[in-house]
Structure 1
Amino acid sequence: MSPPLSFILVMFFIIPTFSQSLKVRSLSCEHQANPLGIDEQHPRLSWQLQSDERNVMQRAYQLRVALDPAQLERGRRLIWDSGKVSSGQSLYIPYGGPALEAGKRYYWQARVWDGEGQASGWSAPAWWEMGLGGPDGWQAAWATVPWKEDKAVPQPAPMLRRTFELRGKVARARVYITSRGLYQAYLNGKKVGDQVFTPGWTSYNNRLQYQTYDITSQLQAGRNAIGVILGDGWYRGNIGWVSKRNHYGSELALLLQAEVEYTDGRKDVITSDDEWRTATGPVLESDIYNGEVYDARKESAGWATPGFDAGNWQPVKITDYPNDNIMATVGVPVRKIQEIRAQKIFTTPKGEQVIDFGQNMTGWVRLRLQGPAGHTVKVYHAEVLDKDGNFYTANLRAAQARLEYTLRGEGEELYEPHFTFMGFRYVKVENWPGELTPESVTGVVIHSDMEKAGSFECSAPMINQLQHNIQWGQKGNFLDVPTDCPQRDERLGWTGDAQAFSRTAAFNYDVSAFFLKWLGDVAADQREDGAVPFVIPQVLKKTDCASTGWADASTIIPWNLYLAYGDRRFLEQQYESMQGWVEYMSKQAGESFLWNQGFHFGDWLFYRPDDDNDGRSALTDKYLIAQCFF
């Protein structure tokens, strides 16, 4: 028996029509895909539309959130359902449900309606996971070494470890880590995560990031061991061209909290506490500018595994550092991005053995070598050769940019540095044991892991090469902070450089999260009177601030990024900072509204053949430039 016509008409009007070609894809939360460990209570959700048809526009959307992905796809046990919202907005929609719980993972989906009223299907689930949720979430204590150190000179990198026992089958496990200095963490002998230079470089006294790692798959039944190496990094290593050490502090320290949830609902929390033990190891020196000294004979095989005998290690010292400046990671992590094979090995007119990688890069080299115990190899880095074809490092000034590796003498050995990076195309090798081949040394490229955005290519090879160089320049200088250079004894977050380059940076790569993090440090290091330092994070004198064009980064970059991404948070987060700088300029100009006082870089590095000293040959009046920016 066929259904009555009235039933067919009713079903026609109550069953939504779906567009087969309209899809929702590329879901992101706070500028990241599936972010692990955020503290934002109202995370903003974004997506992209995909359709085979033209002129398709979103007229409405619906979001839903749940703790279980299977229940989410059934539309059950939802934490939040936005309902159908009439809006074409597909970016930065804030979560509007109940308070989010620390450590919980939230799954979400989106669907949209087009201009014809046709709905897409629900997107594939995406997720975000909350971090510890602020200072109150930390149960860990700061752990450091118990011995006295000569803080005036580089010290061996301390290694810290402890073991713990699992009490059942693990459902999930996370570890939250930060440090004073840099850290590398290991669990049962394997590195935790793929990030380098953690916890990143921020205005440490105001903002110290922590990272969250999923360690579920690295745990093993029974006994486990976790180990951490600490390095000087920006915290207490050389920083600035005056070779100043201990800018933020003179003591390295670890803060770590691992949380293990079992399938039966029980939970264990393992923290940095007085059960940890510490010793020094093979990293004898590690400095951002000067490189690393490593003695493989001092390695302790299996030091981060449960079977290691740490009987001669010392108990750590627990110290009382504040936690109120700790925050979840905001920016994108620094990672190993690419490896470059040696292109050429040659001898210079001076007799130096040099490797050419054919590309200027930021990172380090990995050594593959074999030789007798106690044999030391030295590797130096340079960007260019001099006019005679010799290895040239005068532009590095005081930065040594070298690696020293002493072999342990047990077959083939592999080595990569831990807490240093260089800007280079060429490396000079001294005292290599045996034949140096292209397979002996590999270039490792590192930078903030930004997603590629725009591209440019034309019919002119020189212009294409220029764009190639610009992109490599950006990669080389975007290492957690937008720096001026990656090679000499500087490598600082010059505000003027970032201001001038910010629009180009956003064309080449997605720099939204990268700059959102850095701008937070701009506001943190800004003086109370509104003056913005020359470099961010601020590591120069307190009076090194307020140059026009440089300090204007506080207003120009947020605006440029708002135009690039449409994210009002750049303006909301930075508004007080922007206002403070504008008011500072107004006070300097006074009632005349003419800014004709104070220090300004002006046309910095303007070149004139007969006088190319820093800024001295600039032609344009510096106060005219200041007035124009004002």
Structure 2
Amino acid sequence: MNPFFTVLAAAAFLFQACSQEAKIEVSHLRCEFMENPLGIDLANPSLSWEIGADARGVKQTGYRLLVASSLEKLNANEGDLWDSQSVRSEQSTNVLYNGKPLASRTTCYWKVKTTTNLGSSDWSQPARWSMAFTDDEDWKATWIGLDKSFPGDILKGKTRLAARYFRKEFQNEKKVEKAMLYISGLGLYEAYINGEKIGDQALAPTPTDYTKSVKYNTFDVTDLLTAGDNSIGVVLGNGRFFNMRTVEDQSFPPLPPTQNYGYPKMILQLEVFYTDGSQQTVVSDESWKVTANGPILANNEYDGEEYDARKEMPGWNNPGYDDGNWLNVDLTDAPQGKLEAQLNSNMKIMETLPPKSVSTPKPGVYVLDMGQNMVGWVSMRVNGKAGEQVKLRFAEVLNDDGTIYLGNIRNARVTDIYTLKGAENERWEPSFTYHGFRYVEVTGYPRVPSVNDFEGKVIYDEMETIGHFETSDSTINQIYKNAYWGIRGNYRGMPTDCPQRDERMGWLGDRATGSHGESFIFNNHNLYAKWLDDIEEAQTAEGSVPDVAPAYWRNYNDNITWPAAYLIIANMLYEQFGDARPIVKHYDSMKKWMKYMRDNYMEDHLMPRDLYGDWCMPPESPEMIHSADPARKTDGTLLATSFYHHLLGLLEKFALLQNKTEEATAFSNQAALVKEAYNARFFNKGTAQYSNNTVTANLLSLQLGLVPEGFEERVFSNIVDKTMHEFNGHVSTGLVGIQWLMRGLSKQGRGDIAHKIATNRDYPSWGYMIENGATTIWELWNGNTADPTMNSHNHVMLLGDIIVWFYEYLAGIQNLAGSTGFRNIHMQPLVVDGVDYVTATHRSIQGLIKSAWRKTGNSFEWEVTIPGNSSAVVYIPAKEKRQITESGNDISKVRGIKLLRQEKEFMVFEIGSGEYRFVVFLN
């Protein structure tokens, strides 16, 4: 070619490339899945960001990260802690810090700029994280407490213990540059500096098995310090440290022994840095004073809080208070557990609800209706005489006469008591208890109360709501709303089974598949990563994993289906958030458990260990809690073995992630032996039925990869036949089977049956719960007709995979096979008769994903949003390209949309990031 024309061609190409450059923006910087977190003690925190552009198809090709020790250095583009330099990489999530070792107390300021196929971004806005203590030697404080009981305390049975109040004064004579507070108060704490509460958390810190780990919180308290005299005040509640029940308490059903860790105690370290370079450290030590003679007379998470306002100590947490009558603190032994920075968020008041109405079922008895089964407490305003006492009791449902029903609360007292001091407009809410309730019985109120005298405080772990889901079907919408309220109401530093009765434990089986659905609604990464730590900490030296973690109840039953959540949730964190670290961290522990179960229990490659069966499946009579019909019960060895086979597959996957190919092969070989034995024992080739042909038996076999090749359709036909004929299109599974039901039906082409199950309003169904007034999810399908004392009205275990089905099938948002963290997305909405539109959004770790489709007459409209640095394979319900337009244009003429294939009734395209509007004109 002529050199002149070569130059012209190059210039033309350069002009074309420049003219296509888009405005690229980097936003939503996250460290450890949080924005601007305080108090991290990890050597290599995970960094992520989102990429946006005013054009489609943006793909990152590289990045540069700067991490600096000051904002001034960062603004000067000096990464004195880490300058990654230009890195050629498409990775924009879970990038591990790889700079200088991070010392304790370091504040790390960071920003990122990216290069993409469409141009480069400017530097992002700065974000930061701070380091807590990276060395145990950083702690100069000692544990303090008050290791004795006082009159009114109860140490056995239904325990009762007054709150402990601590105080310390100190001088501050210099100009403060920065002040950081590190605190762990067990079981629960509220802390103050100069009378101002530190932080907005509630019921902190997060609960753990305190013999294994103890979490502390970090706060920047610079703005709370004053010149001259200063004071620190801390109140300690009992939480899960001083236990709510002892083994001497034999309620019904019998409760296992509950862990007790001793009297409340605390450790605190305040570090004040002055502008002249000096510093002062204030620590918990023998110089502190303490009293148990304050207004919180008793606090117990099962029984409530008792508060006597006449015993208030005005100014106790301010400088100058006379604490001459207070006691010297005890220097206590430290808890056995390792003191660590808390990475998951604390609980917080996340919403306020006014009561809907106040009724008077009996003279002097008033009942508040919050209009919604919720979790938290009630704030009260009251006027009256000193010594008058208002009693609040909490319940989920009412008796026929309008009084509260407490049978299903079991032996929890669920009662808050407030004694007035006689001031005008007294306001009170508890500090160290919480309740699951819709109704509040009010007695002793000095006058007729109104809805304006109370507020409901909705409390759960502080986390971002990252999902929205809505359809044209009111039943589906209400199921989603009930699930939303039930899920967040059971986030309590661990995922609990229920929030209202004398239980509230971290049952593993309740949250296996449930955690997956939850992750579409909430950014629950850090909560579940923490819970995996709880599970490993609960593992015995021999390898046994309990059914409850933290192991406040010592439920070591060597069951399979409940502890399986350990591996399933680790896989969820990898699939949904792209984070493989929990898998790596717990891999050896998981292997240890699986080997323990194999070595101790496996017989001829079958696993016989099952305790609970397909828990709470619909029984043959609405009056029964559990079925007595053998034809409805799924064989326990089938349940345990199918799960064990599934878990071997996960271990194989986890091994390959770490390039442990020999271990992966060993797991694969073992799985093949289990599959062979399983089919020899349970599969009838003539009928293509498993065991006694329950839906759960066939469903697990199909979904967990156990059906011999060529028999899949026949096995599935048994599921359909059983569901449609014997159960009239209703659910027939319990906790185990329901985890796979909706996806199993839809994956095999019968989304219509899944839709019917989802929208039924008669028993058994989620809609039946709604028909009977449920605003959360019941523990039993027949909670209103079986023994009502068994039925928690706020249990999420029977949700199974329906939330996953809402997002992955109805909306069509799921990871493409082989992808994680929604880097590559599979979008294939399930369009069924009876649903006219679906609108769903999910803010993934990559960014916002949207799927909003609507059927209108002779057309199908679908709005799609794909986040930057992601792509999607979209299944458009059309037989030919000519039926489809995108933003009003013939799809064949739209750049960046690639036709992959025709697949049954879908045209399948690949698209990049951006916003799209597809319209299909139906024939």
Does residue 174 (structure 1) correspond to residue 180 (structure 2)? The answer is: yes
Deviation at 1:573, TM superposition (A): 1.6
Q: How does 1:174-573 map to 2 (within 5 A)?
A: 174-239=180-245, 247-280=259-292, 281-321=294-334, 325-348=338-361, 352-541=365-554, 544-573=556-585
Determine if contact 1:173/1:216 at 8 Å carries over to the other structure: yes
Q: Which residue of 2 aligns with 1:74?
A: 76
Deviations 1:140-167 (A, max 9, x none): 0111126554533412111000100002
Determine if contact 2:351/2:457 at 8 Å carries over to the other structure: yes
Determine if contact 1:154/1:287 at 8 Å carries over to the other structure: yes
CA separation of 1:266/1:195 partners in 2, compared to 1, >3 Å: closer, same or farther?
Answer: same
Cα distance in 2, alignment partners of residues 230 and 590 from structure 1: 47
Deviation at 1:622, TM superposition (A): 1.5
Deviation at 1:383, TM superposition (A): 0.7
Q: Which residue of 1 aligns with 2:848?
A: none
Deviation at 1:134, TM superposition (A): 3.5
CA separation of 1:134/1:206 partners in 2, compared to 1, >3 Å: closer, same or farther?
Answer: farther
Cα distance in 1, alignment partners of residues 20 and 147 from structure 2: 66
CA separation of 1:91/1:581 partners in 2, compared to 1, >3 Å: closer, same or farther?
Answer: same
Match of 1:605 among 616, 622, 627: 616
Deviation at 1:322, TM superposition (A): 5.4
Cα distance in 2, alignment partners of residues 331 and 578 from structure 1: 22
Q: How does 1:105-124 map to 2 (within 5 A)?
A: 105-116=107-118, 118-124=119-125
Does residue 629 (structure 1) correspond to residue 646 (structure 2)? The answer is: no
Cα distance in 1, alignment partners of residues 371 and 626 from structure 2: 29
Determine if contact 2:32/2:47 at 8 Å carries over to the other structure: yes
2:122 counterpart letter in structure 1:
G
Deviations 1:259-294 (A, max 9, x none): 000000000000001111011200000000000111
**3-state SS, counterpart of residue 451 of structure 2:** coil
Determine if contact 2:143/2:267 at 8 Å carries over to the other structure: yes
**3-state SS, counterpart of residue 463 of structure 2:** coil
Match of 2:586 among 574, 578, 593: 574
2:36 counterpart letter in structure 1:
N
Alignment RMSD: 2.2
**3-state SS, counterpart of residue 251 of structure 1:** coil
Cα distance in 1, alignment partners of residues 101 and 169 from structure 2: 35
Deviation at 1:351, TM superposition (A): 7.3
CA separation of 1:322/1:487 partners in 2, compared to 1, >3 Å: closer, same or farther?
Answer: closer
Q: How many residues align?
A: 616
Deviation at 1:392, TM superposition (A): 0.6
Q: Which residue of 2 aligns with 1:25?
A: 27
CA separation of 1:534/1:560 partners in 2, compared to 1, >3 Å: closer, same or farther?
Answer: same
Deviations 1:12-42 (A, max 9, x none): 99xx999661011000111111110110011
CA separation of 1:616/1:63 partners in 2, compared to 1, >3 Å: closer, same or farther?
Answer: farther
Q: Which residue of 2 aligns with 1:100?
A: 102
Deviation at 1:410, TM superposition (A): 1.5
CA separation of 1:535/1:146 partners in 2, compared to 1, >3 Å: closer, same or farther?
Answer: closer
**3-state SS, counterpart of residue 234 of structure 1:** coil
Deviates more, 1:138-147 or 1:61-70: 138-147
2:62 counterpart letter in structure 1:
A
Cα distance in 1, alignment partners of residues 369 and 335 from structure 2: 47
Cα distance in 2, alignment partners of residues 204 and 615 from structure 1: 39
Deviates more, 1:359-368 or 1:341-350: 341-350
2:38 counterpart letter in structure 1:
L
Deviation at 1:244, TM superposition (A): 8.0
Deviation at 1:51, TM superposition (A): 0.7
Deviation at 1:247, TM superposition (A): 2.2
Cα distance in 1, alignment partners of residues 308 and 603 from structure 2: 64
CA separation of 1:547/1:387 partners in 2, compared to 1, >3 Å: closer, same or farther?
Answer: farther
Match of 1:86 among 88, 93, 100: 88
Q: Which residue of 1 aligns with 2:604?
A: 592
Deviates more, 1:465-474 or 1:431-440: 431-440
Match of 1:34 among 33, 36, 58: 36
CA separation of 1:604/1:323 partners in 2, compared to 1, >3 Å: closer, same or farther?
Answer: closer
Determine if contact 1:134/1:326 at 8 Å carries over to the other structure: no
Match of 2:168 among 162, 166, 171: 162
1:138 counterpart letter in structure 2:
W
Cα distance in 2, alignment partners of residues 513 and 399 from structure 1: 30
Deviations 1:509-560 (A, max 9, x none): 111111011111111101223221111100223x533222201011111012
Cα distance in 2, alignment partners of residues 387 and 148 from structure 1: 42
Deviation at 1:494, TM superposition (A): 0.4
Q: Which residue of 1 aligns with 2:700?
A: none
Larger Rg: 2
2:624 counterpart letter in structure 1:
D
Deviation at 1:588, TM superposition (A): 4.2
Deviations 1:299-352 (A, max 9, x none): 000100002111111111112325760000021221000110011111227974
Unaligned runs of 5+ in 2: 1-10, 645-923
Deviates more, 1:176-185 or 1:569-578: 569-578
Determine if contact 1:134/1:327 at 8 Å carries over to the other structure: no
Cα distance in 2, alignment partners of residues 539 and 134 from structure 1: 29
Cα distance in 2, alignment partners of residues 365 and 501 from structure 1: 29
Deviation at 1:500, TM superposition (A): 3.2
CA separation of 1:146/1:391 partners in 2, compared to 1, >3 Å: closer, same or farther?
Answer: closer
Question: TM-score of the superposition, structure 1-length normalised?
Answer: 0.94
Unaligned runs of 5+ in 1: 1-8
Q: Tell me the percent identity.
A: 37
Cα distance in 1, alignment partners of residues 59 and 299 from structure 2: 54
1:310 counterpart letter in structure 2:
D
**3-state SS, counterpart of residue 299 of structure 2:** strand
2:611 counterpart letter in structure 1:
H
CA separation of 1:518/1:18 partners in 2, compared to 1, >3 Å: closer, same or farther?
Answer: farther
Determine if contact 2:211/2:335 at 8 Å carries over to the other structure: no
Determine if contact 1:146/1:314 at 8 Å carries over to the other structure: no
**3-state SS, counterpart of residue 74 of structure 2:** helix
Question: TM-score of the superposition, structure 2-length normalised?
Answer: 0.65
Deviations 1:241-263 (A, max 9, x none): 66789723222111000000000
Deviation at 1:124, TM superposition (A): 0.7
Cα distance in 2, alignment partners of residues 620 and 352 from structure 1: 47
Deviation at 1:441, TM superposition (A): 1.2
